[in-house]
């Protein structure tokens, strides 16, 4: 996987363009936000996340879908349980992943962040393949956008406390940060 900073697209990953994005107001990219998602909740490898981010979700397929039918959301990336990475929005554009959010006194984190969704739930451990892909992707992002330092990587719950809980207690921050530090040292 290789991120092209000129286009904001990552080569070597699946591309599944989402219409749910707009221009960044300042073009700044200085925050990485980690999320989790599964559709229906707790079910994996359904293809429904991709459909949701493309506004193609058939809301009659599952009762949960009726409650999200009118949402228009996206993320820059999704990392599935097997480590497969899909990109929905160029990193140079503003994906709609964080919603009402605040980081270090600054609101509207979508304006300056990249969003990565991990296929999962708050309470199920993420897979080795996901941590490996997340580490590689994070290093690509940090190389292309040096303002994304270790201190500027957070969970959705950190920027929307009380409203969001992801990536949840099952996400192993220590493992992820140690892998980033090891990769950096090589």
- The count of other CB atoms within 10 Å of the CB of residue 66 is 10
How far, in Å, CA of 29 to CA of 124, rounded?
Answer: 30
Active site residue 117: yes
Contacts of 154 (CB under 8 A, 6+ apart): 31, 32, 33, 34, 103
Q: Residue 47 in contact with residue 94, Cβ under 8 Å?
A: no
- Two tokens, residue 18: 């989402």
Strand partners, 117: 35, 78
Q: Residue 50 in contact with residue 38, Cβ under 8 Å?
A: no
Give, in order, the Cα–Cα distances in Å from 60 to each of 51, 68, 117. 13, 12, 24
Catalytic residue among 104, 107, 117, 184: 117
Residues involved in catalysis: 117
């Amino acid at each position: 996987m290789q991120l092209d900073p000129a286009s904001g697209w990552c080569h070597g990953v699946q591309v599944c363009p989402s219409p749910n994005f707009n221009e960044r107001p300042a073009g700044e990219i200085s925050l990485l936000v980690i999320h989790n998602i599964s559709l229906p909740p707790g079910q994996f490898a359904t293809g429904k996340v991709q459909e949701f981010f493309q506004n193609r979700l058939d809301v009659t397929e599952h009762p949960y879908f009726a409650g999200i039918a009118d949402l228009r959301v996206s993320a820059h990336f999704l990392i599935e349980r097997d480590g497969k990475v899909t990109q929905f929005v160029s990193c140079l554009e503003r994906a709609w992943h964080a919603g009402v959010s605040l980081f270090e006194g600054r609101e509207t984190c979508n304006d300056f962040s990249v969003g990565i969704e991990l296929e999962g739930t708050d309470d199920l451990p993420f897979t080795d393949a996901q941590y490996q892909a997340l580490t590689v992707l994070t290093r690509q992002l940090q190389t292309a956008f040096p303002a994304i330092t270790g201190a500027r990587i957070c969970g959705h719950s950190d920027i929307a406390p009380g409203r969001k809980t992801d990536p949840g207690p099952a996400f192993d921050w220590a493992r992820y940060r140690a892998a980033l530090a090891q990769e950096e040292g090589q």
